[in-house]
Each structure stands twice: as C-alpha cells, then as structure tokens.
Amino acid sequence: MEVVWAVGQLGAAWLALVIGLVMLPSALGISLGISEAYMWVLVKTLEWATIRIQKGGYPFLSQGIIERDETPMEKEISLLHRADFEFSHIFYFCRKGFEAIVEDEVTQRFSSEELLSWNLLTRTNVNFHYISLRLTVVWVIGVIVRYCFLLPLRFTLAAIGITSMIVGTTAVGQLPNGSVKNYLSEVVHLTCSRILVRALSGTIRYHNKENRPQKGGICVANHTSPIDAIILTNDGCYAMVGQVHGGLMGIIQRATVKACPHVWFERSEIKDRHLVTKRLREHVADKSKLPILIFPEGTCINNTSVMMFKKGSFEIGGTIYPVAIKYDPQFGDAFWNSSKYNIVSYLLRIMTSWAIVCNVWYLPPMVRKEGEDAVQFANRVRSAIAHQGGLTELPWDGGLKRAKVKDTFKEEQQKNYSKMLVRNGSVGSLSAETDIGSVSQL
C-alpha cells in the first residue's frame, strides 16, 4: 500500500511539474526559456559531434548515390547519332537505365531524407564504427536523455494535448452554431496545438506574418507530415481538408469536425470528390469562415521536394495563400512514410528524436489569372512554394507512392522519345512520313 501511495505521489508531482512549467506556458503562448536553453545545448553538442566525426576520418557525405549528367536527352541523342550506328551506342541507354534503377528522382522522395553527417540518432547514411570514447559517451547520454526524460515528458504533453482536443471539440460541438461556438472552437484548436508543439520540442520560425491566410481564403502548403497541420494551427486556425483515417487519427478527426467545419473524405470514392468540391465552394463563398487548409500533393513527401499539385484545389475559386514549410533534418526526421509506419509508430519515432525544427514562410496571396487554367495556376503556386522553401520542383504525381505508372503515361514518353529520333534523323531509313505512333511501339 505504501508503494502505491509513493508511486501516486510521484506521478502527481510529475504531472504538476509538467503542467506548471510546460503546459500552461505553452497554452498561454509564453516561454520560460527552457526550450531555448535546450536548443542551445543541443546545437553545440551536434557541432562538437560533427567535428569529432570529421577527425575520425568520416568527411561530410555528398547527397545522392550517383552523379548524373544533366544534359537533356534530346541533345545527347542528337550528338550520339551524328555518325552511323555503332554497337557501343547502346551503352548510353544502358547508363540511363541504371541511373533510373539505382536512384530515380521519384521513389527516393518517399523515403527519409539523407543526412550529410550523423546527428547522434539511430538513422544515418553510414554505419559509423567506433570513433572515440567521448563520442560514444555522449551518444549513450543522448539515448538516456531521449528515452528516459524527453519521451515521458513528450508523451505526457501529447496525451494532455490530444485528450484536451477531443474533449474540448466534443464539448464545443454541442453548442448551437454562432459566434460563441466559433470563438471557443478557435481557442481550443489554438491552445491544444501549442501544447502538441511543445510535446514535439518544436521550434518554429514564422516569416512574413503579414501574408497569413485570411477568412474565406484557401491556404495551400507542401506536405511532409501530419504535424504540418499542427505547425500551422500553432499560429492560426484553419478548416482542414483531408482523407479519412482510422485509429487515433480517426478519433481526432471525428471529434474536431463537431466544432469546426473540417472536410474529411474517402480518397477512393469518386462521388465524395464532387461532394467535397461543392462543400469547399460553399465554404469559400462565406467570408466569415476560417481559411481552408489544403495539402494538394495528396501525400507526404520527404521534405526535399514539391510534387504535382492536384488541380481540384485550384478550381474552387477564391484567393490562394501559399505557405512553404521546410524542416531541419539535423534535429529529427519529420517525414511520415505512411506505407511503412502507422501514426502511433511515427509519433514514437519523432518523440524520440532531438526536436522538430522548421521554418514557415507565408507567401503573398495569389489569384487565378485571366485565361489561366487550373493546372497552370497550380503549377505557378507550386513553383512559388518550392522556390521559397528551397525545395526541388518535380512534375510527378505523389500518387506514385502507392500506385504504378499508368500505361498512357508510358506511351506518351515512348512517343516523345520517337519524336527525338525522327527529328535527329536517327531512325535509319524511316521517312519523314513514318507514323510516330507505330515507332513508339518498337
């Protein structure tokens, strides 16, 4: 009985400490300087570790496995076929094939971003062997701090934040629609998001706040992780649009939609898409409603690139407020590989990292130009986000994360390749009237 009493007292003291020093200051939007001190010590430790690694004979690693020749294929083919065909010409195509297999620019975006140097976490590019006793001691201390102190602290804060979100939004959802309900919903979302950011040891820098999304508008951002929404909600409230999930994520979705007009849909049901578009148009038409938050890539990308934006978000109308989010991988991997980890496993991974550090840029609002279709508008917004965030802009559909390339797309590439050959006189005796469509089947 005494043991139970002692454990209860210890638990109460721990909870009081967390609430008093972390939860309440975060809910009120103030800082006691603890996070800043932790980040200063962390940065200095990682700088020291990097120097030790370099002295141990492990220089900074270059990005990528292979070094590509960026010369356009059409130009290389024109140079290749100036002379008569030689058997050695096939090596050019073999090289291109090996490059695509070893390191293509699509599938590598669906795995964790490669690091230039070890950050004293488990994930790294190289299996570093023993370097020095001091580095080993620091790594062991880091493991103890992350798993024995930071993980319990973060878990406690996350449990408080998620429970508060579910209970708060459910309670607010019982109120009649009106200004009071909207105000309390914003307070609950903002307060709980701040607690959850502290649960991740989040350090976020918001730039150009004068461009923050306004009511009746559409906020469009690149997508790395489910915590993108928490990162943005920490600085303002949004009505969110996204796919229906199961498990813990599903519980949160069902609770929050009671207090705020979020739009959750089934990606596989085409009828839902038309309903979603209709609801979004109605939402945008009401200038008193919160801005809609949309991630038009449709899936999480690993923080190095911005992939194709789905055009549906840009057919609704209204003002688009682009936002660029860029995480610092040195402190933790924010990318969610949903094909490999469920949401609980993912949260455990980031809660045992050092911290979540990111920059958020609010870009000037954009509207669709006269004569500009939805695809062109989407590409223009994507380019602005990629440029601001220092991300690579890729035309590929993020749906390739789970689906194979469509046959029609393969045929289109075959036709383009055939046109290159015909234009450069590389098809041998084929005349100019050769049917390019038939050549593409060779």
What pLDDT, in 10s, does the model give residues 195-220?
888 888 888 999 999 999 988 889 99
What is residue 231's predicted lDDT score, i.e. its pLDDT? 92
Instruction: Find out whether 234 and 256 touch, Cβ atoms under 8 Å.
Output: no
SS3 state at 265? strand
219 belongs to a structural domain: yes
Long-range contacts of 396-401 (CB under 8 A, 24+ apart): 396/105, 396/106, 396/307, 396/308, 397/307, 397/308, 398/297, 398/298, 398/299, 398/301, 398/307, 398/308, 399/298, 399/299, 400/106, 400/107, 401/110, 401/299, 401/339
CA distances from 201 to 25, 251, 301, 302, 438 (A): 14, 24, 22, 20, 59
SS3 state at 417? helix
Instruction: Find out whether 316 and 363 touch, Cβ atoms under 8 Å.
Output: no
Three-point CA angle 337, 341, 345, nearest 5°? 125
197 belongs to a structural domain: yes
Residue 179 in this model has a pLDDT that exceeds 80: yes
Dist CA 334 CA 224 (whole Å): 7
Instruction: Classify residue 150 by its DSSP letter.
Output: I
Q: How many CA atoms lie within 13 A of 5 on its CB side?
A: 2
What is residue 241's predicted lDDT score, i.e. its pLDDT? 81
Which helix or strand (DSSP H or E) is residue 205 part of? strand 202-207
- Give the number of domains in the chain: 1
What is residue 274's predicted lDDT score, i.e. its pLDDT? 73
Higher pLDDT, 275 or 42: 42
The secondary structure of 121-141 as a DSSP string is SS--SS------HHHHHHHHH
Dist CA 340 CA 123 (whole Å): 15
Cα 168 to the chain's mean position, in Å? 27
Higher pLDDT, 7 or 232: 232
Task: Give the whole-number percent of the chain exceeding pLDDT 90.
Answer: 14
What is residue 435's predicted lDDT score, i.e. its pLDDT? 43
Residue 442 in this model has a pLDDT that exceeds 50: no
Mean pLDDT taken over the chain? 78
Q: Read off the pLDDT of each residue in 366-373 and give the average, rounded to a whole number.
A: 88
Residue 49 in this model has a pLDDT that exceeds 80: yes
Q: In which domain, by residue range, is 345 found?
A: 133-401
Instruction: Find out whether 36 and 198 touch, Cβ atoms under 8 Å.
Output: no
- Beta-sheet strands, E only, within 215-368: 218-221, 239-243, 263-265, 292-294, 305-306, 320-327, 356-362
Buried b (16+ CB within 10 A) or exposed e, 296-321: bbbbbbbbbbbbbbbebbbbbebbbb
Long-range contacts of 185-190 (CB under 8 A, 24+ apart): 185/237, 185/259, 185/260, 186/237, 186/290, 188/164, 188/259, 189/165, 189/233, 189/237, 189/256, 189/259, 189/260, 190/233, 190/234, 190/236, 190/237
Structure tokens at 404: 């194979």
What is residue 365's predicted lDDT score, i.e. its pLDDT? 93
Cα 183 to the chain's mean position, in Å? 29
Higher pLDDT, 423 or 438: 423
Instruction: Find out whether 356 and 201 touch, Cβ atoms under 8 Å.
Output: yes
275 belongs to a structural domain: yes
Query: Which residue, among 351, 357, 355, has the nearest Cα to 154 in the 3D structure?
Result: 351
What is residue 377's predicted lDDT score, i.e. its pLDDT? 92
102 belongs to a structural domain: no
pLDDT band at 125 (very low <50, low <70, confident <90, very high): very low
Which of 57-66, 110-119, 362-371 bottoms out in mean pLDDT, i.e. has the lowest? Answer: 57-66
pLDDT band at 366 (very low <50, low <70, confident <90, very high): very high
What's at 206, amino acid-wise? Y
What pLDDT, in 10s, does the model give residues 51-99?
877 776 655 554 555 566 655 555 666 655 555 556 666 777 777 777 7
369 belongs to a structural domain: yes
What is residue 434's predicted lDDT score, i.e. its pLDDT? 38
436 belongs to a structural domain: no
CA distances from 167 to 174, 179, 190 (A): 11, 20, 14
Residue 371 in this model has a pLDDT that exceeds 50: yes
pLDDT band at 327 (very low <50, low <70, confident <90, very high): very high
Instruction: Find out whether 239 and 253 touch, Cβ atoms under 8 Å.
Output: no
87 belongs to a structural domain: no
What is residue 103's predicted lDDT score, i.e. its pLDDT? 66
163 belongs to a structural domain: yes
Residue 362 in this model has a pLDDT that exceeds 90: yes
Query: Which residue, among 389, 222, 228, 220, has the nearest Cα to 319 in the 3D structure?
Result: 220
